[in-house]
Amino acid sequence: MKRYIKAAAVAAALSVLLTSCGIRQTEYEREDTVTLTVAVRAGETGLIQKIQPGFEAENPSVKLKITELSAGFEQYSLYASAFSSGEYLFDLVETEDVWIDDFIRKGWIDVLPESLNPGEGYFGYVYDSFGRGDAYWAVPFQMDLGMLFSLDEYGWDGEYSSMAGKSAGNAGALKIEDDREDIICALMELIEYCDGDVQTALELYGSIYKYAGSERVKLNEFKKGNVPVMHSWSSIIPSLYDDSSKVVATFRAHNTPLSPEGNETTVAKLFGFAVSSLSEHKPECERFLEYISRDSVQTQLIEQSGMYPMKPDMYEDLTIVSTWKHIPAMSSRMENVSIRPHTENYAASALDVREAVYAYLEGTAGAEEAAAKIQGFLN
């Protein structure tokens, strides 16, 4: 009893102190403010601290808490380590696109032939993802950090400069340009989640999209687990400036909602995360990986997502994906499948899908009509 009395006294004292300092939160703030833990590599806290005041001032619903990871954390295995261990120590991760540099250095990928190089007018971040110098490299996936699926169009994007204080605000969440491959990959993921029902997947897409208009609503809903799929909330901050130097950093947050039963909805996770979580032997994860590893599905994904061929012996030596080795199709898929669609044909089809999705979201087409067009693309 004395312990409880003492705890109550301390709490009361803190309340009085915070109130006297003008820090007391209103009911609205308590409900809508979300604290995100930002993980940075050892010695790099200063990069985040430079933009933290401006970020929080322009995003009053978000507070950042910075934690430094140990020097032993390797950047390219950061996500895999977190998800395979089941320890979610952070919401936001500072990342760099280091997969390609590491793969080039270790000799695991080759320069793409001239005939496979993306043409002008292709998706905007293709070069940033796997271009170095005058060459394009055969990176495993056409998504940064090797992710096959991307739900970034549901997210909130903002660009900050500590000198100019510029922000793109949450308008990025509703402005999807050159994200055709993201829409398709997201839909394919949701279609699998909905057991092949395109219309149900499209309606689920729409229900998620509703949360993109307000970071307050979105963050809290995803934190509470009210949206039944994995959501990749991405805030890309390409430029951090001070008077003497330029620093490039990218931030990606992952809010993993829970199913109604309180379990992680692993089947709808990004592909890389699902693979990393395989060690947990969750039935949903096993089912998703079995599906995704079929030769027919691999062929379809390569045709429709723009995945490039990779050296077939990569999986023999690549330690960071050693958990993939017991999935039979994974180690040989690049030997069996080396399809690259013609850029213009793929882009045109992707544009049709995007227009069908937007027609549904804007209410100019019904779910059944839009789903029929999407089904035509998948066929």
Question: If you average pLDDT over residues 188-197, what whole number do you get?
Answer: 63
pLDDT at 201: 74
Calculate the CA 335 to chain-centre distance: 28
Nearest alpha-carbon partner for 303 in 187, 185, 190: 185
Question: If you average pLDDT over residues 69-73, what whole number do you get?
Answer: 59
pLDDT, averaged across the chain = 45
Question: Can you tell me the distance from the alpha carbon of 276 to that of 263, in angstroms, rounded to the nearest whole number?
Answer: 17
Question: If you average pLDDT over residues 26-41, what whole number do you get?
Answer: 49
The answer to whether 110 and 57 have CB atoms below 8 angstroms apart is no
pLDDT-derived band at 105 (thresholds 50, 70, 90) equals low
Question: Can you tell me the distance from the alpha carbon of 158 to that of 336, in angstroms, rounded to the nearest whole number?
Answer: 41
pLDDT at 324: 29
pLDDT at 135: 74
pLDDT at 360: 84
The answer to whether 209 and 175 have CB atoms below 8 angstroms apart is no
pLDDT at 67: 72
User: According to the per-residue pLDDT averaged within each range, which of 103-117, 229-243, 353-367 is highest?
Assistant: 353-367
pLDDT score of 66 more than 50: yes
Question: Can you tell me the distance from the alpha carbon of 58 to that of 106, in angstroms, rounded to the nearest whole number?
Answer: 42
Give tens-digit pLDDT for 323-344: 222 222 333 332 332 222 333 4
The answer to whether 298 and 328 have CB atoms below 8 angstroms apart is no
Question: Can you tell me the distance from the alpha carbon of 234 to that of 237, in angstroms, rounded to the nearest whole number?
Answer: 10
Tokens read off for 135: 């060459």
pLDDT, greater one: 138 or 298: 138
User: What are the strands, taking DSSP E only, across 104-248?
Assistant: 131-132, 135-136, 231-235, 240-241, 246-247
Tell me the β-bridge partners of 63.
Answer: 35
pLDDT at 185: 52
Question: Can you tell me the distance from the alpha carbon of 66 to that of 45, in angstroms, rounded to the nearest whole number?
Answer: 7
Tokens read off for 258: 């829970």
pLDDT score of 356 more than 70: yes
Give tens-digit pLDDT for 108-133: 556 665 544 544 433 334 455 556 77
Question: If you average pLDDT over residues 65-86, what whole number do you get?
Answer: 51
* DSSP secondary structure letters along 53-79: HHHHHH-TTEEEEEEEPPTT--GGGHH
Question: If you average pLDDT over residues 156-182, what whole number do you get?
Answer: 28
pLDDT at 109: 57
The answer to whether 216 and 32 have CB atoms below 8 angstroms apart is yes
Question: If you average pLDDT over residues 67-94, what whole number do you get?
Answer: 48
pLDDT-derived band at 364 (thresholds 50, 70, 90) equals confident
Q: What is the DSSP letter of 309?
A: P
One-letter identity of residue 203: E
Question: Can you tell me the distance from the alpha carbon of 220 to that of 172, in angstroms, rounded to the nearest whole number?
Answer: 19
Percent of the chain whose pLDDT exceeds 70: 11
Question: Can you tell me the distance from the alpha carbon of 42 to that of 53, in angstroms, rounded to the nearest whole number?
Answer: 21
Question: If you average pLDDT over residues 131-158, what whole number do you get?
Answer: 40
Question: Can you tell me the distance from the alpha carbon of 224 to that of 171, in angstroms, rounded to the nearest whole number?
Answer: 23
pLDDT at 71: 60
The answer to whether 149 and 113 have CB atoms below 8 angstroms apart is no
pLDDT score of 370 more than 80: yes
Tokens read off for 17: 């102190």
pLDDT at 373: 83
Calculate the CA 88 to chain-centre distance: 15
CA end-to-end span of the chain, whole Å? 68
pLDDT, greater one: 182 or 22: 182
pLDDT-derived band at 368 (thresholds 50, 70, 90) equals very high
The answer to whether 294 and 328 have CB atoms below 8 angstroms apart is no
Nearest alpha-carbon partner for 183 in 346, 374, 307, 354: 354
Tokens read off for 3: 């312990």
Give tens-digit pLDDT for 194-208: 667 888 778 766 655
pLDDT-derived band at 354 (thresholds 50, 70, 90) equals confident
pLDDT at 206: 67
